[in-house]
Amino acid sequence: MAKSGKPHHIQYEAEAACTNLLILLKILLDYGRLLIRRSYRQLNWQVQTVGNITHFHFAFMPIVAFFSDTSWGGVDLRTSIMPRVVTRNHKVILIAGGAGFVGSNLCRRLIDEGHEIICVDNFQTGNRCNIAPFLQHPHFRLIQHDICEPLDISGPVDEIYNMACAASPDRYQEGPVHTCKTCFLGALNLLELARRKKARILQSSTSEVYGDPEISLQDENYRGCVNTCGPRACYDEGKRVAETLFWEYGAHNGVETRIARIFNTYGPNMDPEDGRVVSNFIVQALKGEDLTVYGTGLQTRSFCYVSDLVDGLIRLMASDEKMPVNLGNPGEFTMLELAEKVVKMVRSRAGVTFRPLPQDDPRQRKPNITRAKTILGWSPKVNLDEGLASTIEWYRERLAADQEAEAPAGQ
């Protein structure tokens, strides 16, 4: 009987040794797989991640499949040996409203920094021309979708920028109920996506949350003076409730949220028919038409060039600040001063036509950016003259291209 026990003992030791050897071998193979993944990331090979298995689209698929195996001898080594290691040296960033004015400029900046972009847009106000340079880029993906409906994305998402919603009064007042839905349901759907993906998310709020302010220099603690039943309420109140959603998800649902209160912004990729004052004035001056000024023209605005704003958004996303942050240029100009600048820079002979001031149109806009300076180290760099010069040139080229496209064939 003593002899019969010895072979079993040896058998058990052999099995244990084999198991340990397989585990050690698997660790070495995992490390090899890690090196392969890093190498192909650096070479910008296209990678698609599904669950916990990574597939590489290149000729040696069987070899990589071997390195990607997650079990050996019936043992699930994926969980028993080591956790999944994320080796991406770039971020996957979703931009809702990515084909819009600010969204497309944000896409360009983040692509230039080497990140992978998922652009989501329903093209209500976004324009495919804005993202045409990126459509063939290996790190750019376009999804046509209305964020009023729930959104599901395969694979990882590290950051989400909610830039969706018409921002021009002319545009958001065309469909006020849809504007309300975009502000509330859109924010809710993106917050749920961020919660599922464990992604950080930024809300593009607006200076319109301050309404028609009763104080000069609006800081983030000012609670505003907003009409809940006026023509601008769908946007103003929609953005205010979106801020509340972001705050609650951050405070109670564990989502990392950021809130940017954006003041008047201008620059390339703003639709010539957008309806906001800078685009209106430049297009009218280029066409030789009189500039339309509402009210007396003494109401003021502060104008931030889009590249400065994009820099502020990226800095805010990277910060630990959970409270709203004003992003805008504190330089303040009346509408008549802006009109005079544009006419002079375009070298136009256009005059000015006065029209009644729309209901609830703010009399004054000037951001206090102390929080942005202190926390983000951010302040705008482009002055109004510099920004207008490049914006005018962009509109000049855009209008010429539009005119050429509309010309009959053969002319």
Catalogue the active-site residues. 235
Residue with tokens 């991640």: 49
SS3 27: helix
Q: How far apart are CA 333 and CA 141, in angstroms?
A: 39
CA angle at 207 for the pair 206 and 209, rounded to the nearest 5°: 80
Residue with tokens 């605005």: 301
* Size of the chain in residues: 411
- Residue pair 278/270 in contact by the 8 Å Cβ criterion: yes
CB-based contacts of 34: which residues, under 8 Å, 6+ apart?
Answer: 85, 87
Q: How far apart are CA 327 and CA 347, in angstroms?
A: 31
Task: Name the β-bridge partners of 94.
Answer: 118, 160
* Per-residue tokens: 262: 């954006």
- Residue pair 262/206 in contact by the 8 Å Cβ criterion: yes
Q: Where are the beta strands (DSSP E) in 38-156?
A: 47-50, 53-56, 71-72, 75-76, 92-96, 116-121, 140-144
SS3 353: strand
Residue with tokens 């071997």: 66
Task: Name the β-bridge partners of 369.
Answer: none
75-76 and 71-72 beta bridge pairing: antiparallel
C-alpha dihedral, 291 to 295 to 297 to 300, nearest 10°:
-120
